[in-house]
């Protein structure tokens, strides 16, 4: 399999090299051809919308979204080093995708990005995860911050709802809630007075801290994507910058979702939600 893939790309390269490419050795360049260089290329390869050189196929072209082409590409779109993704699961996924002609749609929703960043607060680095999604706006689309998760905010919301903690008794209203004074004395326990259904919103805090000027952007460390577009499946897309032919944007994790509850549980896990 590996040998045939290598041969495939070397042949492809030999047919595509032009005169001013002489300075770079053949093997190096064949690896670059093999790599899924952009997320855009991952989409096109998944859908069977381009040739081996990256030239786009359009509707009406013979090869456009052909099953044969898609089958060939699907084989190289997985992170081969991840032994957790068994051949059986990958084959099941590919069969499902090809049998039902399922495609990825850039504007189709149900996929989002997880961006690991570093901000600084009072000179200290703080890791913050941004969940980004595409949103339609005016004449086109834009990436927006849909959610945020930050370790620095999490401890402030930790609370144990299982035990009887501190509370405002049910007749507090008759005393004009004068017991609020005692409730707010200890800032550690203040979250116990929030409703059971309360869900901490890190995005609001994040925006607040930035507007206040206490949180400053430093850098992006890592980007990956989560796809729920293929009915009954979830996969993660990550970038692999390493030697060899299995590089670029590849499926790094694949899970079959048997029920809607599976999907909800996975989404919550990805968003660091505890309930």
Partner 1 sequence: MATYRYTYCTLLLLCLSLTAPLWAQTGEISKERKQAIDSLALEKVRDLSKYISIIGNKKTAFSEANRVMDRAEELFAPGSEMGVSALNRKEVNYYKVRKYFERLMALNYDRVTIQWYDIHYISDLERQPDGRYVGVVTVYQRFEGTSDDGLKYKDTTKKDITIYVERKKTQIAGRTVEFWDVMLGDIRVTETSA
Binding residues (CB under 8 A) for partner 1: these are: 16-18, 20-21, 23-24, 28-29, 31-33, 35, 37-38, 40-41, 44, 54, 56, 58, 106, 118, 137-142, 218-222, 241-244, 247
Residue 176, by phi and psi: left (phi above 0), alpha (psi -120 to 50) or beta? left
Residues facing 147 on adjacent strands = 131
Q: How far is the CB of 32 from partner 1 (least distance, A)?
A: 5
The rounded distance, in Å, linking the Cα atoms of 150 and 120 is 12
| Alpha-carbon torsion angle 38, 44, 46, 50, nearest 10 | -120
Of 59, 90, 28, 114, the residue nearest 255 (C-alpha) = 90
Q: How far does Cα 202 stand from its chain's mean position?
A: 18
Q: DSSP assignment, residue 57? A: P
Taking the complex as a whole, the smallest distance from the CB of residue 142 to partner 1 amounts, in Å, to 5
Q: Which residue has the tokens 């989002």?
A: 112
In the complex, least distance from residue 41 CB atom to partner 1, rounded to whole angstroms: 6
- Give the three-state DSSP class for 229: coil
Which of 110, 46, 89 is CA-nearest to residue 253?
A: 89
Residue the block writes with tokens 């995708």: 97
Least gap, CB of 64 to partner 1 (angstroms)? 11
β pairing state of 124-137 and 140-150: antiparallel
CA distances (Å), origin 70, targets 77, 102, 109, 216: 10, 11, 22, 44
Single out the residue of 114, 98, 96, 85 nearest to residue 254, CA to CA: 85
């Amino acid at each position: 399999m590996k040998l045939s893939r290598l041969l495939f790309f070397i042949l492809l390269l030999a047919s595509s090299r032009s005169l001013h490419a002489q300075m770079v050795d053949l093997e190096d360049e064949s690896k670059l051809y093999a790599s899924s260089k952009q997320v855009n290329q991952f989409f096109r390869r998944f859908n069977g919308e381009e040739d081996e050189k990256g030239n786009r196929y359009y509707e009406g072209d013979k090869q456009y979204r052909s099953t044969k082409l898609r089958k060939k590409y699907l084989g190289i779109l997985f992170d081969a080093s991840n032994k957790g993704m068994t051949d059986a699961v990958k084959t099941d996924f590919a069969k499902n995708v090809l049998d039902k002609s399922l495609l990825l749609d850039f504007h189709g929703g149900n996929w989002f990005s997880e961006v690991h960043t570093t901000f600084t607060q009072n000179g200290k680095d703080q890791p913050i995860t941004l969940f980004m999604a595409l949103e339609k706006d005016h004449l086109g689309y834009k990436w927006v911050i849909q959610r945020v998760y930050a370790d620095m905010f999490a401890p402030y919301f930790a609370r144990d709802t299982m035990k009887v903690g501190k509370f405002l008794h049910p007749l507090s209203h008759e005393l004009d809630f004068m017991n609020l004074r005692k409730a707010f004395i200890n800032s550690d326990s203040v979250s116990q007075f929030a409703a059971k259904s309360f869900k901490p919103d890190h995005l609001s805090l994040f925006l607040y801290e930035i507007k206040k000027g206490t949180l400053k952007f430093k850098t992006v460390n890592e980007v990956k994507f989560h796809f729920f577009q293929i009915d009954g499946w979830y996969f993660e897309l990550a970038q692999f910058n390493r030697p060899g032919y299995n590089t670029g944007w590849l499926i790094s994790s694949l899970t079959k979702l048997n029920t809607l509850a599976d999907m909800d549980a996975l989404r919550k896990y990805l968003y660091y939600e505890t309930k």
